[in-house]
Amino acid sequence: MSRKKEHTRPVPAGPRPTGPKAAQVRLPAAGAVAVAAALALTGCSSGGSSSSASSPAPTASSSGSPSGSGIKPASSAPAQSGNQLQDAYQKVIADVLPSVVQITTGDSLGSGIVYDDKGDIVTNAHVVGTATTFTVTLANSTTSLAASLVASYPDSDLAVIRLSSPPSGLKPAVFGDSGKVELGQITLAMGSPLGLSSSVTQGIVSATGRTVSEPRGGGSPGATIGNMVQTSAAINPGNSGGALVNLNSQVIGINTLAATEPEANGAAAPGIGFAIPASTITSIADQLIKQGKVTNSGRAALGITARTGFNQQFQPAGAVIVAVSPGGAAASAGLQAGDVITRIGDTQVDSLNALTTTLAALTPGSKVTVTYTRDGASKTADVTLGTLETP
């Protein structure tokens, strides 16, 4: 059976990994990594615990266990608790799945999330690539709808497309508060993995605040994205652009990357996926819809142009400043072209990629100490970070 192409690309996750086996990350679909739906336990744990606590103490069974023998019949509480969790899953799926769509771009498949009732759909920039027209299929529907590009912002790997004729009853997703995402919360990933539309997988929030660098190619410029949510919910090719949801039926992220094992010929590393957080999604999507471009990236910057510097052994040894933007953060702190940045705060910088990754984890207005060399001498400067300018 033939199937449309779903891109998968290896990429290093976060700062340069150390240790014997550094995991890599892939973009699970040329236009598609399903957003995992994070389901917070707060929606069901209280019901399960109260049910168990209120169960009356069991007595001797009529089948012959003598009173006082210490043998008690099994409590039904675990089954009740399991049913409550299952009911919570099913409610979230019923609430959110109608807001998750499949996007077809040429011969590639991806996923997206209905953003408003005007037909705007948010997805990954690497899903849309260079295309400007798309075919969209709503959940539980076989009708193909035409859509066109509103705008794309590859630096944050986000894009918005718009349905040409939005149907009645279009259901926008509800986006959650990224600041309330915590480790251990249940997540559901919804999207079209391998072209299987309206698919759902489950897991938990494994970590927050991850900084991950994407691979270049296939519509991605190799963006470095900070504050990503790591989840154990399965993320497969075709899931890109889909929803990561919590148990309150709120989208907490757009699933974008999945880990691969570099020593296993790029085979998937199960249970390690990454989603762009809801706060980034709403900030960028609102700007793309209202202005057609991003004017406030929300990303920290030094206000420099730089390249990787090498030592006499031809090993990466820092980020060389090529040019300093007048009035920018670096210029205000006295940094100059030719300076070689070797550390930001306590984080070593041995390349341009390391500098970009470090800055992606910081926020505009943060104060950091920059260590650099000038004419062979090591110096430091206290810098108040600016905002990354957009074209």
Catalytic residues: 126, 157, 240
CB-CB neighbours of 150 under 10 Å: 19
- Residue 362 is encoded by which pair of tokens? 């910081």
CB 361 within 8 A of CB 226: yes
Q: What is the 3-state secondary structure (H, E, C) of the chain?
A: CCCCECCCCEEECCCCCCCCCCCEEECCCCECECEEEEECHHHCHHHHHHHHHCCCCCCCCCCCCCCCCCCCCCCCHHHHHHHHHHHHHHHHHHHHHHHEEEEEECCEEEEEEECCCCCEEEECHHHHCCCCEEEEEECCCCCEEEEEEEEEEHHHCEEEEEECCCCCCCCCCCECCHHHCCCCCEEEEEECHHHCCCEEEEEEEEEEEEEEECCEECCEECCEEEEEEEECCCCCECECCCEEECCCCCEEEEEEEEEEEHHHCCEEEEEEEEEEEHHHHHHHHHHHHHHCCCCCCCCEECCEEEEEEECCCCCEEEEEEEEECCCCHHHHCCCCCCCEEEEECCEECCCHHHHHHHHHCCCCCCEEEEEEEECCEEEEEEEECEECCCC
CB 143 within 8 A of CB 137: yes
Give the end-to-end CA distance of the chain in Å, rounded to a whole number.
43
76, 256, 269: which is closest to 159 by C-alpha?
256
d(CA 263, CA 38): 30
d(CA 271, CA 215): 20
Residue with tokens 């192409």: 5
